Amino acid sequence: MVKKYSLPDLPYKYEALEPYISKEIMTLHHDKHHLAYVNGANSALDKLDGGRKNNWQGVDLKAVERDLSFNLAGHVLHSIFWPNMKQGGGGKPGGKLADMINEDFGSFDAFKGQLSAAAKQVEGSGWGMLVYDPMSDQLLTLQAEKHNLLSSQTSIPLLVCDVWEHAFYLQYKNDKAAYVDAFWNVINWENVDQQLSKAKM
């Protein structure tokens, strides 16, 4: 039996992040775009299952694996993205996360500038990400083109900022930078700190 992925519920109401992210964007983003990645990943799993049963006759394995990588990465990153935000978020982190940010970036402001620049400078569609790298035991910022390109294989995403146009265009038009700046007002630092604790276990 093929195990399937499912769309997680939003941990808040669609309008909870206003005025920074509109109810209309959240509804379309979660219910349409994220669901499309879930369905795409499940479709790829079905094709792989069919290929195994038929000795890969009529199945373009390379194309199916590419579809799985793209759609599954989209599902994973969105599943991190939603709880990374909350109503009344923003400010600065505390605890171990704050300590590591100061150690690895020099200061919170330096980190904020670096992640903002990474997100704003993504070419085309993609993500700006704060990740934990277990090989060096440090925090890094990365860009991910699409969902699955340019990312480090060992890194663990802790905080992700979706800069695909569907994440902001209805509200911010072509001003991606304004959207990235607004994102800092909804970050759920408690969730990011929890993700760090899990990553270091």
Q: pLDDT tens digits for 56-97?
A: 998 999 999 999 999 999 999 999 999 999 999 999 999 999
pLDDT at 33 over 80: yes
Report how many domains make up the chain.
Answer: 2
- Least trusted range by pLDDT, from 98-112, 149-163, 170-184, 186-200: 149-163
- Least trusted range by pLDDT, from 2-11, 147-156, 169-178: 147-156
Question: Could you tell me the pLDDT band of residue 149, with boundaries at 50, 70 and 90?
Answer: confident
Q: Domain check: are 150 and 57 in the same one?
A: no
Looking at residue 197, its pLDDT comes to 96
Do residues 60 and 47 touch, judged by C-beta distance below 8 A?
no
195-196-197-201 Cα dihedral, nearest 10 degrees: 100
Looking at residue 147, its pLDDT comes to 85
For residue 160, the tally of other CB atoms under 10 A from its CB is 24
Is residue 8 one of the residues assigned to a domain? no
Is residue 77 one of the residues assigned to a domain? yes
Q: What is the DSSP letter of 132?
A: E
Average pLDDT over residues 27-54: 97
Do residues 134 and 154 touch, judged by C-beta distance below 8 A?
yes
pTM of the shown model? 0.95
Is residue 4 one of the residues assigned to a domain? no
Is residue 131 one of the residues assigned to a domain? yes
Q: Domain check: are 111 and 138 in the same one?
A: yes
> In terms of residue numbers, what domain contains 56?
23-81
Q: Domain check: are 51 and 102 in the same one?
A: no
pLDDT at 48 over 80: yes
Q: Tokens in use for 28?
A: 């379309």
Which residue, 81, 108, 131, sits at the end of a domain?
Answer: 81
Report residue 123 CA to chain centroid gap.
Answer: 16
Q: Domain check: are 106 and 193 in the same one?
A: yes
Q: Domain check: are 56 and 140 in the same one?
A: no
Q: Tens digits of per-residue pLDDT, 98-118?
A: 999 999 999 999 999 999 999
Q: Domain check: are 68 and 107 in the same one?
A: no
Average pLDDT, the chain: 96
CATH of the domain at 161: 3.55.40.20
